[in-house]
Structure 1
Amino acid sequence: MTLAVIADQFGPPETYSLREIELREPAPGEVRIAIKAAGISFVDVLTAGGGYQVKPPLPFVPGSEAAGLVTATGSADCGFAAGDRVVCSGWGGMFATDAVLPAAAVRMLPAALDFSEGAVFPVSYATAWHALVDRARLARGETLLVLGAGGATGYAAVQVGKHLGATVVGSASIPEKRALALSGGADAVVDPNDSDWREAVRTAAGGRAVDVVFDPVGGAATEPAFRSLGWGGRHLVVGFPAGMTALRTNLALIKGASLVGVDIRQFGQFEPNRAEANRNTVFALAADGVLRPPIASRYPLAQFAAAMNEAAAGATAGRVVLTME
């Protein structure tokens, strides 16, 4: 048995409850993990509420990334052994004290990261790397504008962008998030509530247009960000928690610019070898101390609803984590 956050229908966090559910034995090629920490993202809460574009089967246990200890393996050749410190990801199932997962969804936790950091590392940093390297082809010396720079993928994009040699301008809504972006390596930060935000961006970028926009925000932020691009710019659509928007097609024409979609889930499905190579890269950088996620709040599993609500509100500078001990 395992203790899990579960619901028989989609809804807000209060729809869910803690229940004991059956935990099967791992089959060949699978591992059983005692989860020590699980990350909570906006997408996790959106999925739990039934608002994500793909709906998982019910009953549903939320949570897409976690870290913990291997307790059993289904076969000796799966690459893991009992006691290994690992991170794992999946389509739900992580808000629980234990999980059984394919070995392919599990990876050794770098010694430089603790369980809480490991629990929020894989998805955000793999997304940022895929976006900036594969989709935008961000080059050394270019200027990167990161919207939501104090959020999960935004902060990861700040760190990845600096590692790639870009000048990074972070846009974040509150002073704490702007300070966080600076601590992650941003060269300058701007306030999206500034009455002349585009001019603030240009000034922060040294008086020139930006080359790449990393946009996990959407809504009213998208058009002025796209207008801030220079010739040949690339605008990465990573998410739109602030809502979807429409762009005038002439903007892309007069700038020779591209609107580029970033979907890490489908990337893993259609290009699994490249996705695995990306994960190898970002985990190696984490092991070297180059990439490291910030933790803002830790909640015990029993307080899952409060933790999910905090993550959904998006007002926290740093990541929200559930701990199982």
Structure 2
Amino acid sequence: MKTSWRSASLVAAAAALALTTACGQDNAQSTGSQNVGAAPAANGVGSGNDYDIGTSNPTAGAQGAQEGAGAKSETAGRLAVADNAKLGEVVTDSAGMTLYRFDKDTAEPPKSTCDGDCATTWPPVPASGASAPAGIDKSLLGEVTRADGTKQLTLDGWPMYRYAKDTKAGDTKGQGVGGTWYASAPTGKKATEGGGGAAAAELPGLSTRNDPELGEVVVDKNGMTVYRFEKDVPWPMKSNCVGECLEKWPVVEPVDAADTKGIDNKNDGRRGYVVLNRPDGLKQQSIDCWPLYTFAGDKKPGDTNGQGVGGTWYAISPEGKPLGKPK
């Protein structure tokens, strides 16, 4: 028994040392303690190491509650297909308000994951009273029961929403928000820039693209630029983007190391590809122990509107370095 206890202790100590090295080498002056592995990564993704970080009291969607009278959760009536100059054909309700789909939902089986403050900013479209016009296959219309028991309209299985900041017919201000919200094409697919409703290109969970000004930058599964925040701390790992900050800078959710291409995803004692357990309940992927974000101001793949914002936000390299940061 004594030998087994001693062996277990040595293994635990070695594991703790390895994690400290992985996420602490570039910031050797930070010596604070940290809980490791307090909760498993969602669906087992990430490197297998989760980190609990400091406390915060974030809020989301508060501003949206006071905007967009046209986005109220009222019946959609007879749907319509509008021809948008940039997006091609998009689905609207009977009042001409654009309908959206959310990447974090699922279509098979239909499931809505937008509740609480999210549903204030993105009001679900009720299923009752909705009908298909010419241009939409009526067999694609359906419904899903939400967590609160209400019935939400679905199109090809995808739950439909309006956007609180769309204030008049034809607005598409929700397009591309957070790299997860897209106007719906008549087929239920995403309406994309110049694509007339074509499905977005399939990419790994994290990969890279060559930016003409910044070089090789990390992008998410939708091709949206990924950023790091200079006010964050890599060790002890901490995100300082909370509350309203997260509305502009959504976190990048955990991505399995196998679902990456061109990313430094090894926790090899030099840099860490790990998942952070945030105090707001979100799980956030990191590279080189830097938490990852996208920018709500980026509307389409290739945008880098978040680059250099406030002198603290920078596109991130595959190794976790800030790109284009002044020396």
Q: TM-score, normalised by structure 2?
A: 0.28
Bigger Cα Rg: 2
Higher strand share: 1
Higher relative contact order (CA 8 A, sep 6+): 2
Q: TM-score, normalised by structure 1?
A: 0.28
